[in-house]
Structure 1
């Protein structure tokens, strides 16, 4: 199908069989750009045998050739250069300001398009501020390409091992460790715990200088290929034994990244462990730090690295342990990453709405949750008309209980008891007999008012699945994205909501 979306966010296409009507008990999906015509994920039974039925930001080969100047060698950004089996290019799509990263696999890497699309879909579901997120793919003839957000400020390897202006200060190294741990924990919590060949080249810095984990490592380099391309000295011992990547293998590789951050060099884990066991922790530390670090903090990181590098996988910590250990060390949250890295911040004028906004649009643009609440209370359930048709058999006691839960949620929502509203709306949603976009929108706002933007975003997207052309769902998504500090995407979503609203008003005038 090969179409490029004009916006980062692709609206769910309206279909004859709405996914939530077909599978009412499906749980909300994490924020992502992956949409299919009948189901929302492979776990729900999607048939990937025909890639043309897969509508997750599919790009045409001609689009990506144009974006990368026909895959010019001048556009290669992978630091391994032309020797790498799967090259990464930067590019810019026609009529778009933002750069993209395109990973081009060798022709033999994924011979079966079904397997490639299936793997890409799993990665495409993920969306997090700590990831360099996947935004599309191309599966055209023998070509297999992934498209991701482009990170303009190089890799951790470049800043640690090949720096020209200044080495990374200690507080920034701790931030890198925490952010990558958070990325791994998010992926694990969303059912994608395997990360292939985690190393300093997989950690990228965005336009703000914030570290992000490349989404490309969430896919193998090929369906049956090796998962590690680094020196065997840095490879998890169990992988050398059986050739399999496990969640514990990822923790081992995270330990090697901690060693890189501590030492500023690529030290073989066995050598580092010998130094740690010999109580020579400070000999591990990067001399370029010139002693400007906390000995107590360094000891915590050294001990965590030692645990990650244990020979027996079961003795290693999990991703939650990583975050729990590293979070207290993040002591300079007010200092921007680009300042710590010593790089200029790439200033861009803030996006302004391209269309006049309604009262809802104005409230969302200024993130006025109180005003949004008033509008949703006044709207009530008008936009739910026609989204549910119940058979006589469905009017059971369970149905009456479910509607009673919704009524309790409405009372709590009106009275601004948002936690109670969440509990009651959740009871209504979990039964799954009836699907209401208004309930999802109201629960989404409740989550925002309880300072929980992630579930708020998921609920707003679920409301969009039920009612693809309802501007309110896009408006609320824009607020949730802004709360997640994804301001460019929030502005895009706000404009899309305004466009939908304008279209609806033209239709009303025409009728």
Structure 2
């Protein structure tokens, strides 16, 4: 990856052949806000702790922000919905009432162009936001740190249009301010469509009223006043346009110098050579330069950006996952023997595989025991587990449930394998809800253990939750493949 200068011939930037910004107030591009998304909800700390497997480091998807420290985790609620949980440092939001009120306002927004805010949690020192989970990473990953192929020009154009539509939608709903608009704030959903993170719509400062910024390239007015305005967001949008043109994070001042000198070759990603026209590059650079005007009032608004970018779109009928080079969610890796057994609901085969695997996957689970536990309670728990394993081998599933329950309730040790075995026993006794609970507990104990996901799939199939079961099956397959690659 790089930008060594393409052979594009610079075009005159003051050409009047095409108007870059249409200053119209009636552009009819309403973003769909009537989506099948649950209403804003206040979650308990325990719900989010369980969803993220105890805020496991294995579930961290990002952590950044020197001025507003926070960590984002992926998680899964009891209803199997995938979520992203942002955990703030308390000092970012010392007053709980302001935090909840602000979250509720952002939670009223619903758009297909946003990674929507589903809820929050405010308990004691905890400040947590819950949003839709976007599985295909960030724009920064696909634009700056790609592995197999650079982002196609048609996809770059789609990204900026979706982003402009998201900003226009938020502005129309009274949320024109977006904090730290950058390539890490743009995410890709299960269909690889770009979405704007809702987290940037939250005020992010100690007093809950003013704004701070972690942007590398701050708007000029922020340097003067310490505050951002709707026009400041447009400035950051212009910086993102430069990112997408160049494939690099270029300082706006340097980019504007290149534009002034008509040196488009140095500004254009060399990976795009032969795949874009001079007109497209010129038009996008014109838009970027308008957005980066020093005086805020000289910058375009979000609605006019939508109108201009809509005219530039390419390959509009091609699905985003093809443009981005990501296998669609309907495609999956081959199923292993356990995955096949769960997909067929073959409980007998699942039993045979679990019996063969034994307890080898419990080795990484830490169990701290006092001397008293070793001498008394520990002995009782181990005896319950031993008898449970014996009845499990004999396929006496009702007895196994009782004995494994004694072991779990004893609290002397934690075993994901026992949870999985009891889950299967519940399935054998036509208790799918209890089976799902146990399989999810196994994942809480061991977040990246593929067998826990497989048993969740089996339980979900039994509950008639076909789509959720298929998702759990794919998750188990992906975790197993990752594990096999690490071992091999």
Q: TM-score range by the shorter chain?
A: 0.5 to 0.7
Distance 1:117 1:133, change over 3 A: same
Contact between 1:33 and 1:56, CA under 8 Å: does it hold in 2?
no
The residue aligned with 1:230 is 215
The question of 1:343 aligning with 2:321 is answered no
Gaps (5+ residues) in structure 1? 1-28, 36-54, 350-487, 490-511
Distance 1:82 1:193, change over 3 A: closer
The question of 1:215 aligning with 2:198 is answered yes
After TM superposition, give the deviation of residue 282 of structure 1 in Å.
3.0
After TM superposition, give the deviation of residue 32 of structure 1 in Å.
8.0
The residue aligned with 2:260 is 277
Q: 1:34 and 1:247 mapped to 2: Cα distance?
A: 27
Summarize the alignment of residues 77-88 of structure 1 with structure 2, pairs less than 5 Å apart.
77-78=61-62, 80=64, 85-88=69-72
Q: 1:149 and 1:215 mapped to 2: Cα distance?
A: 9
The residue aligned with 1:434 is none
Q: Report the structure number with the largest CA radius of gyration.
A: 2
Among 273, 278, 285, the residue aligned to 1:295: 278
Q: 1:134 and 1:163 mapped to 2: Cα distance?
A: 28
Q: 2:36 and 2:94 mapped to 1: Cα distance?
A: 25
After TM superposition, give the deviation of residue 348 of structure 1 in Å.
8.6
The residue aligned with 2:372 is none
The question of 1:190 aligning with 2:173 is answered yes
The residue aligned with 2:80 is 97
Greater alpha carbon shift after TM alignment, 198-207 vs 67-76:
67-76
The residue aligned with 2:102 is 119
Contact between 2:65 and 2:214, CA under 8 Å: does it hold in 1?
no
After TM superposition, give the deviation of residue 81 of structure 1 in Å.
9.4
CA deviation digits over 1:109-154, x for unaligned, max 9? 2111111011101100100000000011101111111000000001
After TM superposition, give the deviation of residue 283 of structure 1 in Å.
2.0
* TM norm structure 2: 0.59
CA deviation digits over 1:285-321, x for unaligned, max 9? 1012233112111111000000000000000000011
Contact between 1:34 and 1:121, CA under 8 Å: does it hold in 2?
no
Summarize the alignment of residues 136-147 of structure 1 with structure 2, pairs less than 5 Å apart.
136-147=119-130
Q: 2:56 and 2:42 mapped to 1: Cα distance?
A: 22
CA deviation digits over 1:166-215, x for unaligned, max 9? 11010100000100000000000111000000000000000101000000
Contact between 1:109 and 1:222, CA under 8 Å: does it hold in 2?
yes
CA deviation digits over 1:308-353, x for unaligned, max 9? 000000000000111011001112110000001111111299xxxx
After TM superposition, give the deviation of residue 30 of structure 1 in Å.
6.2
Distance 1:341 1:33, change over 3 A: closer
Summarize the alignment of residues 449-460 of structure 1 with structure 2, pairs less than 5 Å apart.
none
How many matched pairs? Answer: 301
Q: 2:33 and 2:65 mapped to 1: Cα distance?
A: 34
Q: 1:226 and 1:190 mapped to 2: Cα distance?
A: 19
Gaps (5+ residues) in structure 2? 1-31, 333-466, 469-488
The residue aligned with 2:46 is 62
* TM norm structure 1: 0.56
